[in-house]
Structure 1
Amino acid sequence: MNHSHHPHNHSGKSEVKTTVTYKDGKISITLEDNTGKVPELALAHEKEMHFIMVSNNLEQYYHLHPKKEQEGLYTIQQPLKDGTYKAFVDITPKDKAYQVAPNTVQVGTSETGKAVLDHDYDWTKEVDGKTVILEDVKAEAGKAVPLDFNMHGETPEAHLGALGHVVIVDEAAEHYIHVHPDSEDTTSFHALFPKQGMYKIWAEFQFGDKVHTYSFIIEVSK
């Protein structure tokens, strides 16, 4: 079972428009459907909105949960350094087709160049004393690719209704993938990559009330 938030629309057509702005340390997201109304959102993993923001070079990563300030407007305080960012508004509108697409957000005047991702040969990552290994991946475009994380015998705590969350963005920061474990008691995932190329993976696991984020770079073949 693939717990992707947006499996229902692969046409690329979206009936919901998202607009992301940033001012004085505050991110604002407005939503409007194709009739000019505010779309109704379904809960997905305990939240109406998962908001992913990455710097254009994929070096900075934020997974945020903005609060509804009023109908169609969500906000969150998050100071950002000057630079260029891509924001992905991960929502599940009821009765509306939706495809997550990047919103470019410029903070200040200094622009951030695009990422140039190199092969990641080290699949063992440690964050704050917790080690996670991504088992060898053979990734092909258009196929469900298994992503199996070895937790060294530790079981992460449930975080937003799952033992882990995996976010993947391609080198150009155009394609966004968000998947959840194959079952409630595993740290194995499946991801569908739309095309060949280099991708960055951020795997989130919670230990001791703190979310640890592990990043990996993989190459997807044809």
Structure 2
Amino acid sequence: MNITIWNEYRHEQQNEEVRRVYPDGIHGVIKQFLLEDGFESVVTATLDEPEHGLTDEVLNNTDVLIWWGHIAHDEVSDEIVEKVKRRVHDGMGLIALHSAHYSKVFRGLMGTNCGLEWREADDKEILWVVDHTHPITQGIDKKIELDIEEMYGERFNIPEPDELLFISWFTGGEVFRSGCTYKRDKGKIFYFRPGHETFPTYYHKDIRRVICNAVRWAAPVGV
């Protein structure tokens, strides 16, 4: 299986607080734990590389694409976005993390603006497992607890998920559909909410387990 991790990689270069948490970039941390979980072919791509690192060769050889973006969604080339969307329809898996809900790629595949309520606070989040039988939730108990995260709240303007796997609760009483799956023609999509750049979310063992599970689930049939 060939996995590509795409990261905007702007926060880590511009913000010392983020750089302390992810000195090798969010993409670097995700690549590390995927390799530790037994995946052998993992590459990264970032916004400021030529073609955002997503050349035809890279995309055509990618079975699952992981996407993290936040402050520079509008800088992503429409041409590259269309190529990514076509690859998803052709069977490439897509995992959209945290604020990638606002990416051109995810909004284009959803057909909505993917708006939501939010507040940036040092909040506690509990992700409750809705479907314990799904491959993505295997190895996770009843819930995942994050001591510190950013709040996303409903209404989340997305299409009705094919499958709802996680619902988040925050200390302000807000709830959020934090783990949603979709199919677009031959491609599988998983949206997973946690992962604000100033918090060490991607070091949490259960968050890592969900992402590793999701990569296996999203891979094209036969890979």
Fold-level similarity (TM above 0.5)? no
Larger Rg: 1
Q: Which has the higher contact order (CA 8 A, sep 6+)?
A: 2
Specify which structure has the higher proportion of helix: 2
- TM-score, scaled to structure 1: 0.28
- TM-score, scaled to structure 2: 0.28
Specify which structure has the higher proportion of strand: 1
